[in-house]
Amino acid sequence: MHFLKILSWLIFIAINIFLLYHLVFPVFLFIVHWFLPKNPDILLKRYKKITDKEFDFAVITAAHQETMFIAPFVDSLIRQEYQNFVIYVVADDCDISGLHFSDDKVVLLNPESPLHSKIKSIKYAIDHFRREHDALVIFDSDNLAHPDFLKNLNHYFQRGFAAVQANMLSKNLDSGFARMDAMGHTYYNFLERKIKMELGLTSAILGLGIAMDMDLYRRVVYKNNLGGFDKKLQVNLTLSVPMIAYAGDVIVYDEKVENAAAFEKQRTRWIFTYFEYFKDSIFLFRKSFKPFNAGRLLLAISMLRPPMILTISVSIICMASCFLIFPVFGWIWLAIFILFTINFILIVASQSQQEGVWKALFSIPALLFRQIKSLLKIKQAKKNFLQTEHKKVLYINEVLHKI
């Protein structure tokens, strides 16, 4: 009985330390940020240019049961100043009779049997490459690429980076849920990518706008074809390259969810993939010590961090417990929680690159409520991919005109 009591206390203390780290460390990073160079051009000049090569990019997007975004996506790529690329559009389970592209840079693929998987669609595109490419860039079908996307991306590959994450901005901010979606991304983009690049550490990736050397991608073996595409890829890339770069000047526009149902579905999928790939996060954590790699360790710790709703919920429980057991520690908990909240607001307010994102700060209570609902629906993610529905058909010129 005495042993179990001691063990319970140790577990309780460990949980408190783990949660406090994730509340305090963002504050430290935000303070450090103000003493570091922030301009992408300045950051890039740290790394010596090792070649003048114009890399050959395979641009891949997978459309699933909808084709309305294909034409706008292709249009944004055709307008690129950089021209050494081929676009591979995998129209999975789609009717492509209304799609016609005259540009020979566009390869439209329509699998005979439905794939129903982004992972399978990417593999299908690779199996149908027109030529051997140096690197591939993965997009979602509703994405739009800035006209300078590939030109700026090439600069990073010329400096020896074999994996580069683009800067994702929103193509729609005209609803409260879209702004809440963008707000969450703004916060985590700063913590997991922007500040990491400023510190010269490996960055976290997204499931879109990620570019990598072809050989790197071919080494990835997926556990299954349900969600988590970026989780498995991130572990493999982190173990294979010295640093995943974050390119703030390589911009991709993504559609944000616009209603409660889509918001909850998206969060449910994210929570599910956190638990589904938890073992991969532990594996990366262990690999960070032999040999020791600070960037890899910080990334592994961030992958182990529970989704925001779980972090906040368990933190409140720990804080309440401390008030009952050790009131002094309860007050310390409360002070740190307030500091975390203020820091969250400051990061969103200062790091938002698009007008209107900060307005979502007034919707935080609604955000937490929807997060709780998404947590209760996690079992649904085991049965299907819970694909997020998109509706905003915009062309790149329309998006740029709004900026």
pLDDT band at 363 (very low <50, low <70, confident <90, very high): low
Q: What is the mean pLDDT of the chain?
A: 87
Taking residues 197-212, what's their average pLDDT? 94
Determine the Cα–Cα distance for residues 298 and 303; give it in Å rounded to an integer: 9
Determine the Cα–Cα distance for residues 193 and 206; give it in Å rounded to an integer: 10
Residue range 33-63, pLDDT digits in tens: 998 877 777 888 889 999 999 999 999 999 9
Among 24, 16, 12, which Cα is nearest to 336's? Answer: 24
Q: Which two three-digit tokens encode residue 23?
A: 């509340």
How far is Cα of residue 386 from the mean position of the Cα atoms in its chain? 17
Determine the Cα–Cα distance for residues 221 and 26; give it in Å rounded to an integer: 32
Q: Tell me what pLDDT residue 31 has.
A: 95
Q: Tell me what pLDDT residue 380 has.
A: 58
Q: Tell me what pLDDT residue 222 has.
A: 65
The better pLDDT of the pair 294, 373 is held by 294
Percent of the residues in the chain that have a pLDDT greater than 70, as a whole number:
88
Q: Which two three-digit tokens encode residue 144?
A: 């739009």
The better pLDDT of the pair 391, 158 is held by 158
Q: 192: Cβ–Cβ under 8 A, 6 or more apart, which residues?
A: 203, 204, 299, 302
- Give me the residues paired with residue 140 across strands: 62
- What percentage of the chain's residues is helix, strand, coil (to nearest 5)? 55, 15, 35
Q: Tell me what pLDDT residue 266 has.
A: 72
DSSP 87: E
Percent of the residues in the chain that have a pLDDT greater than 90, as a whole number:
53
Residue 333 has pLDDT above 90, yes or no: yes
State which residues form the domain around 169: 1-403
Residue 369 has pLDDT above 70, yes or no: no
Residue 73 has pLDDT above 60, yes or no: yes
Q: Tell me what pLDDT residue 38 has.
A: 73
**3 state SS of 358:** helix
Q: Which two three-digit tokens encode residue 30?
A: 């935000």
pLDDT band at 381 (very low <50, low <70, confident <90, very high): low
Determine the Cα–Cα distance for residues 294 and 297; give it in Å rounded to an integer: 5
Q: Tell me what pLDDT residue 172 has.
A: 82
- Give me the residues paired with residue 79 across strands: none
Sheet strands (E) in 81-122: 85-92, 106-109
Residue 126 has pLDDT above 60, yes or no: yes
Q: Sign of torsion, CA 212 221 282 180?
A: positive
DSSP 382: G
Residue range 338-355, pLDDT digits in tens: 999 999 999 988 888 777
Residue 199 has pLDDT above 70, yes or no: yes
Domain total of the chain: 1
How far is Cα of residue 287 from the mean position of the Cα atoms in its chain? 22
Taking residues 369-393, what's their average pLDDT? 58
Angle in degrees, 0-180, between the axes of helices 176-189 and 327-351, rounded to the nearest 10: 110
Residue 372 has pLDDT above 60, yes or no: yes
Structural contact between residues 244 and 149, judged by C-beta atoms closer than 8 angstroms: no
Q: Which of 33-47, 101-115, 153-167 comes out lowest in average pLDDT? A: 33-47
Domain of 81, CATH number, reads 3.90.550.10
Residue 304 has pLDDT above 70, yes or no: yes
Taking residues 250-254, what's their average pLDDT? 95
